[in-house]
């Protein structure tokens, strides 16, 4: 399908406007606000009448009279001040269904102007376990990556590991306290350093919170850590070698955690990989006379006259000579521009970091590195606890992702066991189904909320088999599979017939995929795709309840219904896969 149903109808109504001597652009069609009255509507007569200084109702009637002659339309009527209501003939709709069925993408939208993109998501930090905030970045970023690839964009996903900030110096100094005799701290040691890491992932998870607490409480220890950070960045060999171990050990753990989530990155680069770009960046900034001194630091001023709130300068080099979060982000833009030359760079990061990105984007624009219109911060809201505040541990830290995943896993096992045990499933299959149900619950709950809003983590609601949930969608998809299995085979070229209202509605729902996917891509909003999945699953439910499928006596009708079921199943699986949700074989 290259042109969606809604675009075809807009073209058709546009032609009618043109025939009436008006701009074809007024023909834009949308799904009807009143599905009880019509399937589609066009509101263009109102604007057209205003422009042509005519009566909207009269003009609407004129356009409607032209449209009435079209074979595609079963009914054209005028409502209110001049809305044109449209209902398609079943024959035309059946043809649309045949087309969607014949498309191996079941109507997935194709971008007319594919782009090269970098998707920066994940953003975990070395030595720190993933927390709930990283979950949203991973889930939303992964689904946007899949969505845009499906549309035809060339997307490179980059994890952008936090491996270069002040916590690195804090870790180095804490390890030094605990194991002072390691060669990494001996300045006279001339290598080679041990290949084996002196710390494990568990060690890091224990050391990091200690290190950070000490530095917060003790100024001397904090200064020491800051010096260590700047020595590390300046290339002190022992620090670099030990830091390499931190990064490698952390990466191993992170790879496992992301694999459990079904999230993959093309690039495992980190802030440190941008370091070689810092010197050329500074050189360019100096040549452009953009860098300013401020309290011992070197900064880029990014405030603008019309700013409603104050935007502080971006600090490129701190007082003690180290680079910070903003400088590595700016240097990373230089790296990406040189290595990937993207049209756009998208950052899927907590909305609370909006000021940071505003500073980086403006600095990039100001120095002519990469225009700010091609840098987008796709912020997301927080996952909240029952008190509707960001989910925290009792100690007040962000909740570790493990804790949340374990809760979800336990809940899914309970739910699945309650509904499936004693029905002939092996324990391995039950475990597989539970894992998929848990992931679907978590991902769908996250993605179905508009990206920018906060939501409350509500295990029972997310795991429910009814309502707008991941498990419901899995259930609907699996039910389709079982209908098809019972039938044995589906004849692809059997023509679709529309007899019942539920069949009509199912075809309309299938045709809604293309515009939903286009809107989800354009707005970078996966929840629009979630809405479509739910609408489609509900339409199938109604179809299943109202129409005989396998036991329909009329052969042609049975084939038509099987084909509709198969097409719905394929589209639903494609949408779920794009959301990062795996479907079990049966449940
Ligand atoms: N490591 C950061 C954090 O945990 C997120 C990094 C996001 N990406 C970026 N390019 N700044 O807050």
Candidate from 129, 250, 349 with most ligand 1 atoms within 8 A of CB, to mutate:
349
Residue 329 CB less than 6 A away from ligand 1:
yes
Same domain, 172 and 69: no
Of the chain, the percentage scoring pLDDT greater than 90 comes to 92
Can you list the alpha helix ranges (DSSP code H) found in 131-218? 132-151, 166-178, 201-217
CB 87 within 8 A of CB 74: yes
Q: Is residue 57 part of a domain?
A: yes
Residue 349 CB less than 6 A away from ligand 1:
yes
Report the pLDDT value the prediction gives residue 394, as an integer from 0 to 100.
78
Q: For residue 341, what are its two tokens?
A: 């030359």
Q: Is residue 365 part of a domain?
A: no
Residues 169-187 have a mean pLDDT of 96
Average pLDDT value for the chain: 95
Same domain, 82 and 188: no
Residue 273 CB less than 6 A away from ligand 1:
no
Of the chain, the percentage scoring pLDDT greater than 70 comes to 100
Same domain, 432 and 523: yes
Q: Is residue 461 part of a domain?
A: yes
Residue 413 has pLDDT above 70, yes or no: yes
pTM of the model: 0.95
To the nearest 10 degrees (0 to 180), the angle between helices 201-217 and 166-178 is 100
Can you tell me the distance from the alpha carbon of 570 to that of 71, in angstroms, rounded to the nearest whole number? 30
SS3 147: helix
Candidate from 160, 325, 342 with most ligand 1 atoms within 8 A of CB, to mutate:
160
CB 370 within 8 A of CB 364: yes
Closest C-alpha to 336, from 350, 322, 346, 324: 346
Can you tell me the distance from the alpha carbon of 169 to that of 471, in angstroms, rounded to the nearest whole number? 45
**Rounded-to-10 torsion of CA 169, 170, 175, 178:** 140
CB 38 within 8 A of CB 30: no
Same domain, 82 and 173: no
Atom 8 of ligand 1, nearest CA residue: 123
Residue 446 CB less than 6 A away from ligand 1:
no
Residue 123 CB less than 6 A away from ligand 1:
yes
What CATH number is attached to the domain comprising 78? 3.30.1360.70
Long-range CB pairs of 555-562 (<8 Å, 24+ gap) are 556/494, 556/495, 556/497, 557/497, 557/499, 559/490, 559/491, 559/494, 560/494, 560/495, 560/496, 560/497, 561/503, 562/483, 562/484, 562/487, 562/490, 562/491, 562/494
To the nearest 10 degrees (0 to 180), the angle between helices 513-523 and 501-511 is 30
Distance (Å) from CA 162 to ligand 1 centroid: 6
Count Cβ atoms within 10 A of the Cβ of residue 525 and give its class: 0-12 exposed, 13-18 middle, 19 or more buried.
Answer: buried
Q: Is residue 518 part of a domain?
A: yes
Q: Is residue 497 part of a domain?
A: yes
Same domain, 542 and 417: yes
Same domain, 66 and 214: no
Last residue of a domain, one of 245, 260, 275: 260
Residue 125 CB less than 6 A away from ligand 1:
yes
* Complete edge-to-edge strand list for the sheet that includes strand 297-300: 291-294, 297-300, 314-317
Model confidence band, residue 436 (pLDDT cutoffs 50, 70, 90): very high
pLDDT digits (tens, 9 = 90+) for 304-319: 999 999 999 999 999 8
Report the pLDDT value the prediction gives residue 346, as an integer from 0 to 100.
98
Q: Is residue 456 part of a domain?
A: yes
Q: Which of 67-76, 89-98, 121-130, 352-361 has the lowest mean pLDDT?
A: 121-130
Residues 125-131 have a mean pLDDT of 89
Provide the phi-psi class of 562: left if phi over 0, else alpha when psi is between -120 and 50, else beta.
alpha
Closest C-alpha to 448, from 583, 263, 292, 576: 576
Can you tell me the distance from the alpha carbon of 416 to that of 419, in angstroms, rounded to the nearest whole number? 5
**Residues 6+ away with beta carbon under 8 Å from 553:** none
CB 405 within 8 A of CB 256: no
SS3 581: coil
Model confidence band, residue 422 (pLDDT cutoffs 50, 70, 90): confident
Residue 160 CB less than 6 A away from ligand 1:
yes
Report the pLDDT value the prediction gives residue 388, as an integer from 0 to 100.
93
Same domain, 525 and 425: yes
Question: Measured from the CA of 329, which atom of ligand 1 is nearest?
Answer: 10
Closest C-alpha to 461, from 528, 529, 415: 415
Residue 82 CB less than 6 A away from ligand 1:
no
The CB-side HSE value for 196 (13 A sphere, CA atoms) comes to 2
Residue 393 has pLDDT above 80, yes or no: no
Report the pLDDT value the prediction gives residue 2, as an integer from 0 to 100.
65
Distance (Å) from CA 289 to ligand 1 centroid: 28
* 393 alpha carbon, distance to own chain's centre: 26
Same domain, 418 and 537: yes
Same domain, 421 and 561: yes
Model confidence band, residue 167 (pLDDT cutoffs 50, 70, 90): very high
Same domain, 82 and 170: no
Residues 282-296 have a mean pLDDT of 96
Last residue of a domain, one of 88, 114, 131: 88
Last residue of a domain, one of 73, 88, 103: 88
Report the pLDDT value the prediction gives residue 1, as an integer from 0 to 100.
59
Residue 161 CB less than 6 A away from ligand 1:
no
Residue 489 has pLDDT above 90, yes or no: no
Residues 101-113 have a mean pLDDT of 96
Same domain, 170 and 66: no
Residue 13's domain spans which residues?
A: 5-88
Model confidence band, residue 502 (pLDDT cutoffs 50, 70, 90): very high
Q: Is residue 335 part of a domain?
A: no
Q: For residue 581, what are its two tokens?
A: 């949700």
Same domain, 172 and 58: no
- Our count of domains for the chain comes to 3
Residue 290 has pLDDT above 70, yes or no: yes
Model confidence band, residue 545 (pLDDT cutoffs 50, 70, 90): very high
Can you tell me the distance from the alpha carbon of 238 to that of 244, in angstroms, rounded to the nearest whole number? 10
Q: Is residue 333 part of a domain?
A: no
Residues 46-60 have a mean pLDDT of 93
What CATH number is attached to the domain comprising 508? 1.10.730.10
Can you tell me the distance from the alpha carbon of 387 to that of 385, in angstroms, rounded to the nearest whole number? 5
Can you tell me the distance from the alpha carbon of 199 to that of 41, in angstroms, rounded to the nearest whole number? 65
CB 221 within 8 A of CB 214: yes
Atom 2 of ligand 1, nearest CA residue: 123
Atom 12 of ligand 1, nearest CA residue: 123
Residue 436 CB less than 6 A away from ligand 1:
no
């Amino acid at each position: 399908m290259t042109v969606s149903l809604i675009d075809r109808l807009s073209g058709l109504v546009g032609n009618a406007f043109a025939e009436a001597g008006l701009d074809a652009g007024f023909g834009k069609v949308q799904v009807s606000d009143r599905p009880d009255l019509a399937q589609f509507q066009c509101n263009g007569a109102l604007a057209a009448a205003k422009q042509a200084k005519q009566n909207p109702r009269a003009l609407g009637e004129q356009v409607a009279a032209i449209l009435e002659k079209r074979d595609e339309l079963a009914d054209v009527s005028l409502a209110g001040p001049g809305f044109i209501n449209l209902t398609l003939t079943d024959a035309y709709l059946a043809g649309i269904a045949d087309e969607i069925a014949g498309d191996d993408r079941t109507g997935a939208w194709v971008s007319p102007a594919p782009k090269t993109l970098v998707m920066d998501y994940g953003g975990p930090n070395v030595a720190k376990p993933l927390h709930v905030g990283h979950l949203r970045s991973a889930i939303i970023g992964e689904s946007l990556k899949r969505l845009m690839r499906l549309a035809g964009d060339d997307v490179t996903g980059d994890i952008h590991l936090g491996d270069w900030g002040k916590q690195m110096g804090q870790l180095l100094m804490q390890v030094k306290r605990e194991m002072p005799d390691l060669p990494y701290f001996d300045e006279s040691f001339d290598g080679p350093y041990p290949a084996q890491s002196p710390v494990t992932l568990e060690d890091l998870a224990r050391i990091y919170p200690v290190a950070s607490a000490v530095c917060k409480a003790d100024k001397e220890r904090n200064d020491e850590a800051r010096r260590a950070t700047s020595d590390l960045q300046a290339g002190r060999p022992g620090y670099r070698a030990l830091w390499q171990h931190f990064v490698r050990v952390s990466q191993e753990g992170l790879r496992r955690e992301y694999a459990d989530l079904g999230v993959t990155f093309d690039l495992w680069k980190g802030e440190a990989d941008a370091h070689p770009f810092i010197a050329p960046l500074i050189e360019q900034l100096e040549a452009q006379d953009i860098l300013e001194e401020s309290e011992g630091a070197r900064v880029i001023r990014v405030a603008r006259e019309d700013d409603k709130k104050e935007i502080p300068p971006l600090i490129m080099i701190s007082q003690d000579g180290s680079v910070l979060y903003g400088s590595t982000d700016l240097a990373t833009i230089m790296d990406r521009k040189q290595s990937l030359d993207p049209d756009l760079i998208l950052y899927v990061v907590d909305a609370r970091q909006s000021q940071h990105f505003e500073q980086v984007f403006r600095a990039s624009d100001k120095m002519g590195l990469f225009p700010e219109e091609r840098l987008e911060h796709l912020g997301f809201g927080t996952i909240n606890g029952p008190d509707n505040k960001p989910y925290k541990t009792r100690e007040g830290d962000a909740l570790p992702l493990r804790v949340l995943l374990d809760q979800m896993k336990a809940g899914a096992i309970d739910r699945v066991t309650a509904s499936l045990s004693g029905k002939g499933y092996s324990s391995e299959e039950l475990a597989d189904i539970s894992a998929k149900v848990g992931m679907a619950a978590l991902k769908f709950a996250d993605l179905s909320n508009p990206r920018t809003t906060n939501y409350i983590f509500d295990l029972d609601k997310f795991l429910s088999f009814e309502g707008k949930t991941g498990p419901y969608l899995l259930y609907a998809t699996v039910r389709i599979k079982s209908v098809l299995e019972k039938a044995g085979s589906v004849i692809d070229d059997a023509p679709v017939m529309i007899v019942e209202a539920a069949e009509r509605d199912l075809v309309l729902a299938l045709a809604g995929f293309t515009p939903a996917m286009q809107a989800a891509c354009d707005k970078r909003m996966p929840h629009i795709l979630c809405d479509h999945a739910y609408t489609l699953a509900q339409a199938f439910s109604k179809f299943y309840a109202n129409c005989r499928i396998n036991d329909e006596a009329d052969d042609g009708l049975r084939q038509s219904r099987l084909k509709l079921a198969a097409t719905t199943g394929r589209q639903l699986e494609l949408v779920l896969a794009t959301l990062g949700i795996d479907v079990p074989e049966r449940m």
